[in-house]
Amino acid sequence: MKKLLFLSILLLSFACTENKKPSISEESTVNQQLIDSIAYELCTMYGLDQGIRNEGTFILSKREDILKIDSINFAKLVRIVKEFGYPNKAFFGKEHIPHECVELSSMAIMLHNPHKIIHDQALFDLFLDEVNKGNLSREFFATILDKYYWSRSRGERVMYGSSFGVPCIDTKDETNRLRMEIGLEPLKDEEFKDCELVI
């Protein structure tokens, strides 16, 4: 009887160890593999993004091909952001973020697709949520959005005020409304410029 009880306890403990959760070190390894995988994917995306634009490497002559690559990269970035948040130093840590392709991939892809964020409220809200979580800076988000207005006006106008330029005084009310919507302070009159109407 004692032998039977001993065997039962032994089998029960064996069954429990078979179904145990991964240890912290095993979970850390899995997490590191996931982070490595996302870093690799971002680098691949960055390579495509820059490769189609750099002379002497991988030039695609047709604008439609560039737009296709930009769309594919943007869809991949949106998937990453939805699942893991906007890629940043807090997520990657010190190992991957110094690599240009990891750090700049998301920025470049967003700069080449600002129209998608402007014209799709769900995407705008997705990235604004990342801004509000502190994963993406408000100033850089304004730069992405301004890229749309800057491109559309051939470099004449922006709406938010960013590295793309200073907004026009005739859009002061709308500019300040848009800035406050993404959590930036309104601009003072002297932070605007006089512009002729650009259509």
| Rounded percentage of the chain residues whose pLDDT exceeds 70 | 77
- Distance of alpha carbon 83 from alpha carbon 68, whole angstroms: 23
Residue 89 confidence (pLDDT): 83
Non-local CB neighbours of 163 within 8 Å, separated by 6+ positions: 143, 146
- Distance of alpha carbon 109 from alpha carbon 61, whole angstroms: 19
pLDDT interval class at 162 (50, 70, 90): very high
Residue 102 confidence (pLDDT): 86
What's the alpha-carbon Rg for the chain, to the nearest Å?
24
The closest alpha carbon to 199, from 153, 150, 161, 145, belongs to: 153
Average pLDDT, the chain: 83
Residue 147 confidence (pLDDT): 98
Least confident of 34-43, 95-104, 163-172: 95-104
- Distance of alpha carbon 84 from alpha carbon 78, whole angstroms: 10
Non-local CB neighbours of 113 within 8 Å, separated by 6+ positions: 70, 71, 73, 74
For the segment 77-96, the average pLDDT, to the nearest whole number, is 87
For the segment 157-185, the average pLDDT, to the nearest whole number, is 97
DSSP at 198: -
Token pair, residue 152, equals: 């559309």
Identify the residue whose tokens are 């695609």. 60
Non-local CB neighbours of 41 within 8 Å, separated by 6+ positions: 76, 80
Alpha-helical (H) ranges within the chain are 2-18, 24-51, 63-84, 89-96, 100-111, 114-119, 121-132, 138-152, 172-181
Residue 2 has pLDDT above 70, yes or no: no
Cα 24 to chain centroid distance, Å, stands at: 29
Give the residue with greater pLDDT, 16 vs 103: 103
Give tens-digit pLDDT for 111-153. 999 999 999 999 999 999 999 999 999 999 999 999 999 999 9
Residue 124 confidence (pLDDT): 98
Domain ranges of the chain: 25-112, 137-199
Cα 131 to chain centroid distance, Å, stands at: 10
Residue 19 has pLDDT above 80, yes or no: no
Non-local CB neighbours of 90 within 8 Å, separated by 6+ positions: 135
**DSSP assignment string, 137-176:** -HHHHHHHHHHHHHHHTTTS--SS-BTTBPPBGGGHHHHH
For the segment 26-54, the average pLDDT, to the nearest whole number, is 84
Token pair, residue 58, equals: 């991988």
